[in-house]
């Protein structure tokens, strides 16, 4: 299901997720296309929950396509009946040239795609969703929509920001913004301004979210986890600090989240 999806085994029982790689022209801007399908006819609705990444998404869905800014809380989507969506996951920082304004303006918001890409976004959305369930074909249509809208010139700051985020998320044990800024040769204030402009979330949030992704991934492995050792590995002062952070983001303490209570669906 991918890192960030909570209870991935359970979620996989009610929906399918397939990723499609972008072509070479779109690759500097698009991390991947994702296609989610579900069929809950005759079954109760299901809430899928995700600890979002520092990425903006363009999602072709009913009734209109939407741009999803970075969700700094817990993303929850209610699945019911039968349906599908096709999403474009932009690389961190890479949505800024399309947005025409600071990406922080989109944080925790869902904006009609037509406000960013024009009315053609809705026409494309109907075409994408009318393709059937061929995710590769849907991704191809989404890419055909994006290609003529790619910036005429690459934004070197956007590329640099993407590398910054990649570096942070690859090292979840890094936990201080001043440490990151020093490693990058920037002041803390400059780093914060760049992230507001290009990422849509603060460096502190990105650092914390990377640690929570790692904690959730470990928790999904099941019981028998040494939480105190994990807290130390992730740079927390102690296990209690990890527990507070995890509970605030996920809604359950890590030991309860990792327990057997939610394994399987009837």
Q: What is the pLDDT of residues 25-65, one digit of tens each?
A: 999 999 999 999 999 999 999 999 999 999 999 999 999 99
Q: How confident is the model at residue 255 (pLDDT cuts 50, 70, 90)?
A: confident
Cβ atoms within 10 Å of 69's Cβ, excluding its own: 23
β-sheet bridge partners, residue 5: 50
- What integer is the mean pLDDT of 229-237? 89
Contact 32, 59 (CB under 8 A): no
Q: Output the pLDDT for position 175.
A: 72
- What integer is the mean pLDDT of 161-182? 84
Q: Output the pLDDT for position 266.
A: 33
What phi and psi values does residue 217 have, to the nearest 5 degrees? -65, -40
- What integer is the mean pLDDT of 4-11? 92
The gap from C-alpha 258 to its chain's centroid, in whole angstroms, comes to 22
Q: Output the pLDDT for position 223.
A: 66
Q: Output the pLDDT for position 1.
A: 66
Cα(9)–Cα(52) distance, rounded to whole angstroms?
18
In the chain, % of residues over pLDDT 70: 95
More confident residue, 245 or 133: 245
Contact 180, 168 (CB under 8 A): yes
- What integer is the mean pLDDT of 12-37? 97
Q: Which of 17-26, 111-120, 170-179, 231-240 has the lowest mean pLDDT?
A: 170-179
Whole-number average pLDDT of the chain: 92
- Helix, strand or coil, per DSSP, at residue 115: helix
- What integer is the mean pLDDT of 213-237? 87
Highest mean pLDDT among 14-23, 173-182, 257-266: 14-23
Segment 142-161, tens digit of pLDDT: 999 999 999 988 899 999 99
Q: What is the DSSP letter of 5?
A: B
pLDDT over 70 at 265, yes or no: no
Q: Output the pLDDT for position 168.
A: 83
Segment 74-109, tens digit of pLDDT: 999 999 999 999 999 999 999 999 999 999 999 999
- What integer is the mean pLDDT of 127-136? 94
């Amino acid at each position: 299901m991918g890192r960030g999806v909570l209870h991935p085994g359970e979620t996989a029982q009610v929906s399918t997720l397939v990723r499609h790689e972008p072509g070479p022209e779109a690759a500097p801007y698009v991390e991947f296309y994702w296609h989610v399908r579900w069929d809950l006819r005759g079954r109760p609705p299901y809430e899928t929950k995700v600890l979002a990444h520092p990425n903006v998404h363009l999602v072709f869905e009913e009734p209109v396509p939407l741009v999803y800014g970075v969700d700094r809380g817990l993303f929850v989507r209610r699945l019911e009946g039968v349906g599908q969506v096709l999403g474009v996951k932009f690389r961190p920082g890479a949505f800024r040239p399309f947005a025409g304004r600071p990406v922080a303006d989109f944080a925790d918001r869902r904006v009609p795609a037509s406000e960013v890409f024009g009315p053609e976004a809705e026409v494309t959305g109907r075409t994408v969703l009318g393709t059937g369930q061929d995710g590769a074909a849907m991704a191809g249509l989404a890419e055909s929509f994006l290609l003529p809208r790619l910036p005429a010139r690459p934004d070197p700051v956007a590329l640099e920001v993407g590398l910054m985020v990649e570096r942070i998320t690859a090292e979840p044990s890094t936990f201080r913004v001043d440490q990151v800024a020093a490693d990058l040769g920037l002041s803390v204030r400059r780093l914060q301004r760049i992230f507001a402009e290009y990422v849509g979330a603060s460096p502190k949030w990105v650092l914390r979210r990377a640690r929570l992704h790692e904690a959730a991934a470990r928790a999904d492995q099941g019981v028998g986890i040494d939480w105190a050792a994990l807290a130390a590995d992730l740079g927390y002062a102690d296990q209690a600090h990890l527990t507070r952070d995890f509970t605030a983001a996920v809604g359950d303490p890590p030991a309860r989240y990792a327990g057997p209570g939610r394994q399987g669906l009837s």
